[in-house]
Amino acid sequence: MKRIEKVTDMAAVSGRLASEGKSIGFVPTMGYLHEGHLSLAREAGKENDVVIMSIFVNPAQFGPGEDFDSYPRDLERDAELAEKAGVDILFHPTPEEMYPENSEIRILPGRQADVLCGASRPGHFDGVLKVLTKLFHLTMPERAYFGQKDAQQLAIIETFVRDYNFPLEIRRVPTVREEDGLAKSSRNVRLTPEEREQAPAIYESLQQGARMFRESGDPDLALGTLRKSLGHIPGAETDYAEILEYPSLRPLSASSREAIIAAAVQFSGARLIDNILVNLEGKRS
């Protein structure tokens, strides 16, 4: 596995691969890799000649008081895991390398960023689109791979790539979970032992809400079930619990074909998100 730190080196390697007719699958991450990230790399390896993974804790997507400084980092561990998962090139620039100038140009994601995580994290998705624009240009992928756990991010990225004609395909990969149902996340390591025991209740609550929605067809009833269940998790505070149309993230309507049931829960040292997508075709009139 080749490791690259410099932006110019990454662009040169991608350009050479493109000139050779090699297809590139790209997996952007912030590191501290877990099975969810590795599943993205393996999926990319099935569909492309070359797999590029980036590891970059992006300061542009962290707001004041958020956990940029304490976000878990272990580059050598990550490099070993990435290589075992079939990554061919690991791009791990520094913030100074990615952002050498204090650019005032902004990319605004629009209405999709005003709900769910975006409602309490203004500017977060601006930073996501900023770094992805740079990474897509530098790696020149035919396909980029994202996990469904970050469903709002995925919806915004799909819209961005479509609306601005990026020459690549966004590939959705299902959420990878622990045996007890907890969605894999780099932030899970910051849960206390007691919180780790309680955290699987997030997914259980989402399942209850989804089950109620499928049975009743009533999003308000399902949302009440979800919020009540989340409220019973000891030591946790619900940031949000919502049911929206997916991927538009608009309120549900009679024409909605897919819904997202999503929640964010704050523990003492980690804010965890999770979601379930529900197919509505043939179920609503």
The mean per-residue pLDDT over the stretch 126-154 comes to 97
Rounded mean pLDDT of 164-171? 98
How large is the average pLDDT for residues 6-25?
98
Q: What is the pTM of this model?
A: 0.93
Query: In the predicted model, what is the mean pLDDT of residues 11-19?
Result: 98
Q: What local confidence, expressed as pLDDT, does residue 281 receive?
A: 81
| Residue 167, pLDDT score | 97
Report the run of H or E that residue 272 belongs to, with start and end: strand 271-279
The pLDDT of residue 197 is above 90? yes
Architecture per CATH, domain 186-277, reads as 2-Layer Sandwich (3.30)
**Contact at 8 Å (CB) between 98 and 56?**
yes
| Residues 222 and 205: beta-carbon distance below 8 Å | no
pLDDT at 118 over 50: yes
pLDDT band of 188, cuts 50, 70, 90: very high
The predicted structure's pLDDT at residue 282: 62
pLDDT of 103 reads 84
What's the confidence (pLDDT) of residue 177? 96
- Containing H/E element for 40? helix 35-47
Give the mean pLDDT of 255-269: 96
Is 37 a residue of the active site?
Answer: yes
Structure tokens at 38: 């590795």
- Please report, as a single letter, which amino acid is at residue 189: V
Token output for 144: 């980029």
Alpha helices of 107-218 — where are they, by DSSP H?
Answer: 117-120, 124-139, 151-163, 193-198, 201-216
Lateral strand order in the sheet of 258-266: 237-245, 258-266, 271-279
At residue 217, the 3 state secondary structure works out as coil
Residue 46, pLDDT > 50, answer yes
Give the residue numbers of the binding site for ATP.
30-37, 147-150, 176, 184-187
The CATH number that domain 2-173 falls under is 3.40.50.620
**pLDDT value at 67 more than 90:** no
Q: What percentage of the chain carries pLDDT values higher than 70?
A: 99
Strand-pairing partners, residue 24, are: 50
| CA 133 to mean position of chain CA atoms | 15
Residue 20: pLDDT over 90: yes
Is the pLDDT at 82 greater than 70? The verdict is: yes
Region 108-120: what's the mean pLDDT? 95
Residues of the chain with CATH 3.30.1300.10: 186-277
Judge whether 32 and 42 are in contact, CB under 8 Å. no
Question: What confidence category does residue 285 fall into, taking pLDDT thresholds of 50, 70 and 90?
Answer: very low
| pLDDT tens digits along 212-230 | 999 999 999 999 999 999 9
pLDDT of residue 52: 98
pLDDT in tens, 237-251: 999 999 999 999 999
Residue 7 predicted with pLDDT over 50: yes
Instruction: Judge whether 138 and 22 are in contact, CB under 8 Å.
Output: no
Distance CA 277, CA 147 (A): 13
> For the packed helices 201-216 and 219-230, what is the interaxial angle rounded to 10 degrees?
160
pLDDT band at 148 (very low <50, low <70, confident <90, very high): very high
The tokens for 26 are 């790209």
Helix (H, G, I), strand (E, B) or coil at 226: helix
Strand, coil or helix: 112: helix
The active-site residue, picked from 37, 92, 137, 232, is 37
